[in-house]
Chain A
Amino acid sequence: MLTISTGNNAVAAAVREAGTGVVAAYPITPQTEIVEQIANFVTKGSMKASYIPVESEHSAMAACIGASITGIRTFTATSSHGLLYMNEMVNWAAAARLPIVMANVNRALGPGWNVWAEHTDSLQARDTGWLQVYVATVQEAYDATLMAFRIAEDRRVYLPVMVNLDGFTLSHITQQLEDVKIGDFIPPLVLDHKIDPAHPGGYGCMTSSVDYVRIRSDIERSMRDSVEVIRETEAEFAKRFGRSYSWTDDYRCEDAEVLILSMGTLGKEAEVAIDILRSEGVKAGSMRVRWIRPFPNLDLGDRELVVIDRNYSFGFGGILAGSIRAKTGKTCYNVIAGLGGQEVTYHDIASFVRNRKIGTEEWFGVKI
């Protein structure tokens, strides 16, 4: 059915449609609407689940861990300081091989207090063993959340998935949303290692380095296997529901000589910038990177790259630019833009391309 929705409500609707059994969450702007909406669904009976109103984000992820290990479908949502506060358990969830799905509404980190969009929060969790996808539209937030459950719960993966959407510029905007009847798109969860009194034993007890290395390497093996699972899931989603997704969302890239790479809603803004640049005769294209973990194989050819990072790793640089350089050996013009919700228009993005100085980094709006 075609309706209109905010990004947050789209995520909540997907969590209900997926048949989630336990949701444990703690409010934080700009994520709060997701958990309010889910609490509402559960109270009104349109969602048969247990909603645990925990006292902190650390406990939110802890409760998800306790629930997920019984083999039930589990979800939480957070943002910014909430994600940082739960970080210990975020790492734990992945190493415990639990297919928890979490929506993170991307927000800047304090001080100073700032509730607006930035990706530094979730990118700090990039080494935890979670799969991470970044979305740019309300529809994509909905679709990616549904697919996240199927990917996480696949026996080849058994890793948690984080769906990231920009605070306010996606969480709170209203766009059209075509919802789906999920049917058997997400098979019932079968967790091989679920906790069961019929199988006594220590889960996560003390472990020798020999076994520890084996167990850690298995996380990476699954991370690599998830590439195929993501491909299959997105293909099956397209077949059933008619919307296609991939590692990147490409716009006019085929004959492009210069590419803008970005994440989240700025990637949609970049598409307008591409049209402006094309009208000026610049052969530009936009590649919005969706999956950050596993990191995609990017086919960049010998095109010039302008990478917009809405995040920063102090003492290092923009994280997307750094990752691209590490994976492809290519240098770029790295623009740090949109921190703390800084306004970045498509005109600004077009000017990044016009003024590019490959091999350098620039902070939009300030000189350092």
Chain B
Amino acid sequence: MKNIRVLTLMPTVPDTEYIHKCTSACAGCSSDLILRHVLKAAGPDTVLVVPACCTSVLQGVYPNTSFGIPVYNVAFASAAAVASGMAAAFEELGKNTNVIAYAGDGGTVDIGIQALSGALERGTNFLYICYDNEAYGNTGMQRSGSTPLGARTTTTPGGKPHQKKDLDRIIAAHHLPYMATSCSAYPQDIVRKVEKALSIKGPKFLHILAPCPPGWRYDTAKTIEVGKLAVRSGMWAMYEREYDTLTLSGQTKAAMMKPAPLEEYLKIQGRFSGLKPDTIAEIRQSMERNLRLLKKEAEGTC
């Protein structure tokens, strides 16, 4: 029954489910939601490579699993390299199975960045997805290189003193045939981008913002609202890059024309509580700089 509702609301989203009910994700987990739609887009001939992260936990305990595709669990730093070997082997064996690495921000921007950079540089035929909950969720919300300025985590109890690492420009420097950003609040966008990515041979990359109720400290019912606010305020930009051509997604174009107030996005989350006006100004400055650069690039004027 529920599928009928979903279908009328989102006609472009395939109705087969590959994530069963009762994963052990927290209530309101948006990473679970992202993966649900990634797998709908990818279909059954898919192998997921998952390093240590929340996703290694939410599958459930051996011999049971809540996933309807094979998941290869691997060491924290190794997802992109394992996927490289797997992609090469499938090619050698004449198989077209999708190889998708699904990793957290810590496993991507911190410990896994070397393996990821290597796999991209070698032209590995795979899709790497970083779901970004902006901290180490698995180990209890320590800061990662992807934690934004000012956010409180268990290792930055006074707020993170450093800026979020600009992962996407690092990835862009690898000149991929396809990379894109998205956000869990826009499942149709995720499905379309995954489908597009998988239709292209070579290395593909998706960076998806994944609001996380316990980590970001907001009410579990507000996961979609927080995701939408991230995009509408301009804190998270959605776009696609095919080689060096950048196309802004509609949601981000709209946010550039008429942004939601940044304070609204910050206020709704406990992790930003007690931000000093200076820090807010700095957050706004880097957000605006990012949007300016993206806009120029999309217009071909940079």
Instruction: Give the interface of A toward B (CB within 8 A).
Output: 21-22, 24, 49-50, 52-56, 58-60, 62-72, 74, 88-89, 92, 195-197, 199-208, 211
User: In whole Å, how far is A365's beta carbon from the nearest beta carbon of chain B?
Assistant: 40
Q: A63 to chain B: which residues have CB within 8 Å?
A: 81-82, 84-85, 88
Cross-interface CB contact of B93 among A70, A89, A204, cutoff 8 Å: A70
B56 touches A206 (CB 8 A): yes
Residue from A89, A199, A205 whose CB has the most chain B CB atoms within 10 Å: A205
A206 touches B59 (CB 8 A): yes
B60 touches A202 (CB 8 A): yes
User: Could you jot down 9 A-B contacts, CB within 8 Å?
Assistant: A21-B89, A55-B117, A63-B81, A65-B82, A71-B89, A195-B47, A201-B65, A201-B71, A205-B62
Q: B72 to chain A: which residues have CB within 8 Å?
A: 66, 69, 195, 203-204
User: In whole Å, how far is A91's beta carbon from the nearest beta carbon of chain B?
Assistant: 9
Cross-interface CB contact of A50 among B65, B92, B114, cutoff 8 Å: B92
A24 touches B85 (CB 8 A): yes
- With A55-B114, A67-B85, A197-B44 known, 8 other A-B pairs at CB within 8 A are A53-B122, A54-B84, A62-B77, A65-B78, A66-B82, A195-B72, A200-B18, A211-B63
Query: Would A92 and B115 be within 8 Å (CB), given that A66-B86, A72-B89, A72-B93 are in contact?
Result: no
Cross-interface CB contact of B81 among A62, A71, A195, A202, cutoff 8 Å: A62
Within 8 Å of chain A (Cβ to Cβ): is B173? no
CA–CA, A11 and B234, complex, Å: 57
Of all chain B residues, the one with the shortest Cβ separation from A60 is B81
CA–CA, A205 and B59, complex, Å: 7
CA–CA, A205 and B65, complex, Å: 8
CA–CA, A180 and B88, complex, Å: 28
Of all chain A residues, the one with the shortest Cβ separation from B64 is A202
Q: Mark B67-91, 1 if CB is under 8 A from A, else 0.
A: 1111111110110111111111111
- How many residues on B have C-beta within 8 angstroms of the other chain's C-beta atoms? 49
B45 touches A197 (CB 8 A): yes
Within 8 Å of chain A (Cβ to Cβ): is B188? no
User: In whole Å, how far is A311's beta carbon from the nearest beta carbon of chain B?
Assistant: 26
User: In whole Å, how far is B300's beta carbon from the nearest beta carbon of chain A?
Assistant: 33
Cross-interface CB contact of B86 among A69, A89, A206, cutoff 8 Å: A69
A22 touches B92 (CB 8 A): yes
User: In whole Å, how far is A92's beta carbon from the nearest beta carbon of chain B?
Assistant: 6
CA–CA, A330 and B103, complex, Å: 51
CA–CA, A211 and B62, complex, Å: 8
Within 8 Å of chain A (Cβ to Cβ): is B156? no
Of all chain B residues, the one with the shortest Cβ separation from A199 is B70
CA–CA, A54 and B119, complex, Å: 8
Of all chain B residues, the one with the shortest Cβ separation from A21 is B92
Cross-interface CB contact of A58 among B60, B64, B78, B83, cutoff 8 Å: B78
Within 8 Å of chain A (Cβ to Cβ): is B29? no
Of all chain B residues, the one with the shortest Cβ separation from A195 is B70
A22 touches B85 (CB 8 A): yes
Q: A54 to chain B: which residues have CB within 8 Å?
A: 81, 84, 118, 122
User: In whole Å, how far is A14's beta carbon from the nearest beta carbon of chain B?
Assistant: 19
Q: B47 to chain A: which residues have CB within 8 Å?
A: 195, 197
CA–CA, A197 and B115, complex, Å: 25
Q: A49 to chain B: which residues have CB within 8 Å?
A: 92
B115 touches A62 (CB 8 A): yes
User: In whole Å, how far is B67's beta carbon from the nearest beta carbon of chain A?
Assistant: 7
User: In whole Å, how far is B48's beta carbon from the nearest beta carbon of chain A?
Assistant: 10
CA–CA, A49 and B89, complex, Å: 9
Q: Mark B109-122, 1 if CB is under 8 A from A, else 0.
A: 00000110111011
CA–CA, A208 and B62, complex, Å: 7
Residue from A60, A92, A196, A201 whose CB has the most chain B CB atoms within 10 Å: A201
Of all chain A residues, the one with the shortest Cβ separation from B69 is A200
- From 21 to 71 in chain B, residues with beta carbon under 8 angstroms from any chain A beta carbon are 44-47, 49, 56-57, 59-65, 67-71
B84 touches A52 (CB 8 A): yes
A67 touches B75 (CB 8 A): no
Q: A88 to chain B: which residues have CB within 8 Å?
A: 75, 77-78
Q: A69 to chain B: which residues have CB within 8 Å?
A: 72, 86
B61 touches A67 (CB 8 A): no
B88 touches A206 (CB 8 A): no
A56 touches B115 (CB 8 A): yes
Of all chain B residues, the one with the shortest Cβ separation from A72 is B89
Cross-interface CB contact of B70 among A65, A200, A207, cutoff 8 Å: A200
CA–CA, A196 and B89, complex, Å: 12
A50 touches B91 (CB 8 A): yes
Query: Would A202 and B67 be within 8 Å (CB), given that A92-B74, A197-B45 are in contact?
Result: yes
Q: A203 to chain B: which residues have CB within 8 Å?
A: 70-73
A67 touches B88 (CB 8 A): yes
Q: B87 to chain A: which residues have CB within 8 Å?
A: 66
User: In whole Å, how far is B106's beta carbon from the nearest beta carbon of chain A?
Assistant: 16
- From 88 to 134 in chain B, residues with beta carbon under 8 angstroms from any chain A beta carbon are 88-93, 95, 97, 114-115, 117-119, 121-122
User: In whole Å, how far is B80's beta carbon from the nearest beta carbon of chain A?
Assistant: 8
Q: B117 to chain A: which residues have CB within 8 Å?
A: 55
A92 touches B89 (CB 8 A): no
Of all chain B residues, the one with the shortest Cβ separation from A202 is B65
Query: Would A65 and B74 be within 8 Å (CB), given that A22-B88, A72-B93, A205-B59 are in contact?
Result: yes
- From 283 to 300 in chain B, residues with beta carbon under 8 angstroms from any chain A beta carbon are none
B57 touches A62 (CB 8 A): no
Of all chain A residues, the one with the shortest Cβ separation from B98 is A197
Query: Would A62 and B82 be within 8 Å (CB), given that A201-B70, A202-B67, A205-B71 are in contact?
Result: yes
User: In whole Å, how far is B100's beta carbon from the nearest beta carbon of chain A?
Assistant: 12
B115 touches A70 (CB 8 A): no
Query: Would A62 and B78 be within 8 Å (CB), given that A21-B92, A200-B65 are in contact?
Result: yes
B89 touches A50 (CB 8 A): yes
A58 touches B77 (CB 8 A): yes
Cross-interface CB contact of B84 among A66, A70, A72, cutoff 8 Å: A66
User: In whole Å, how far is B204's beta carbon from the nearest beta carbon of chain A?
Assistant: 17
CA–CA, A52 and B121, complex, Å: 12
